[in-house]
Amino acid sequence: MALTAEDVDEIEAERITLHGNHVTFLRAGEGPALLLLHGIAGSYETWAPLIPALADEFTVIAPDMLGHGGSAKPRGDYSLGAYAAGARDLLLALGHESATVVGHSLGGGVAMQFAYQFPAHTDRLALVSSGGLGDEVNIVLRAATLPGSELVLPLITKAWVTGTGRRIANWLGAIGLQPGADMTEIARGYASLADPEARQAFLLTARSVIDHRGQRVSARDRLYLADSVPSLIVWGERDRIIPCAHGKRAASEMPGSRFELFEGAGHFPHLERPIPFARLLARFVNETEPARLDGEEVARLLAERGALEVA
């Protein structure tokens, strides 16, 4: 029997300890594993509307990445590589050798890093309004990396929590953020930063991938390694956080990938169109064979592109 939205509300979050830090995650359904990775200042809640439509066919695993949601917020490594390693360890600890890795925004960058570091554990790759595919990113995130932002963030989060965030909402609208899912998720993210530990983790994460000029970590020079990995790229037409042009360009550089544009949607197409998005993701998984990469295959791809020069 398919899950309903009410069923998902009753699913209790689980907790596991990895390397001394607790990780909170949501797990539902049976079947091939889907590992869903949220964006910066997000949580597994961003995927909740999709779970009823996915859990009937798949095992859905949606963690709060370290520094986010109900997971631990240590003073540690918040690089893409560290996040990818944590996702791999969670997957294995839950008894899954591999998964289709789905990442939104920052989670897209983590998903690509996961596929790069752990090809044997990657069945497929799905990128949703993903970071790591170009330089441009909204001023909201660039501002968070500036010196002194740790002093300003508490004032902004207080405004959201106390209900005086309307002026900030008006400002976000003025710079192009979509009303609806965009505003709701940005507000939820800001509210989560009222916790000093979450705020510290947010700043460390943001500064690991962004500076005042934009995104400073790019996967574009390695996209050819995804040639043997079934890949889906999804974007909102009106995304003002990360331009949809990034997704279109990445699709052209990843032969065999699928690109889907959700017209009228912003940075959170999976929230604005949860049922169509879930159907698209399920169809992508069902119509493709999982990748089976190993070290030899990766070495072959590197050699084909002239990345290896053997003396």
User: Is 105 one of the catalytic residues?
Assistant: yes
To the nearest whole number, what is the mean pLDDT of the chain?
Answer: 85
Residue 311: per-residue pLDDT: 44
Whether 37 is in a domain gets the answer yes
Of 74-83, 177-186, 249-258, the one with minimum mean pLDDT is 177-186
Whether 72 is in a domain gets the answer yes
More confident residue, 165 or 281: 281
Work out the average pLDDT over 30-56: 95
Contacts 24+ apart (CB under 8 A), 69-74: 69/24, 69/42, 69/43, 69/44, 69/45, 69/192, 70/13, 70/15, 70/24, 70/43, 71/21, 71/22, 71/23, 71/24, 72/21, 72/22, 72/23, 73/195, 73/197, 73/198, 73/200, 73/201, 74/21
Whether 199 is in a domain gets the answer no
Whether 243 is in a domain gets the answer yes
User: Is 239 one of the catalytic residues?
Assistant: yes
- What residue type is assigned to position 28 of the chain? A
CATH number, domain with residue 115 = 3.40.50.1820
Whether 12 is in a domain gets the answer yes
Residue 255: per-residue pLDDT: 81
Strand stretches in the chain, DSSP E: 14-18, 21-28, 33-37, 59-63, 99-104, 122-128, 210-211, 214-215, 231-236, 258-262
Whether 88 is in a domain gets the answer yes
Cβ neighbourhood burial of 12 (10 Å; 0-12, 13-18, 19+)? exposed
pLDDT digits (tens, 9 = 90+) for 103-160: 999 999 999 999 999 999 999 999 999 998 988 887 777 777 777 666 456 555 655 5
Of 42-51, 173-182, 210-219, the one with minimum mean pLDDT is 173-182
Of 22-26, 171-175, 202-206, 221-225, the one with minimum mean pLDDT is 171-175
Structural domains of the chain, count: 1
Point out the catalytic residue in the list 43, 98, 105, 231.
105
Q: Is pLDDT above 60 for 277?
A: yes
Q: Is pLDDT above 90 for 195?
A: no
More confident residue, 202 or 90: 90
Whether 120 is in a domain gets the answer yes
**What is the band of 51 on the pLDDT scale with cuts at 50, 70, 90?**
very high
Point out the catalytic residue in the list 68, 121, 246, 267.
267
Point out the catalytic residue in the list 129, 231, 239, 257.
239
Q: Is pLDDT above 60 for 172?
A: no
pLDDT digits (tens, 9 = 90+) for 223-273: 777 778 999 999 999 998 999 999 999 999 888 899 999 999 999 999 999
Of 110-124, 161-175, 236-250, 291-305, the one with minimum mean pLDDT is 161-175
Domain extent, residue 60, equals 5-137+216-304
224: its two tokens: 């050819």
Whether 279 is in a domain gets the answer yes
DSSP 71: S
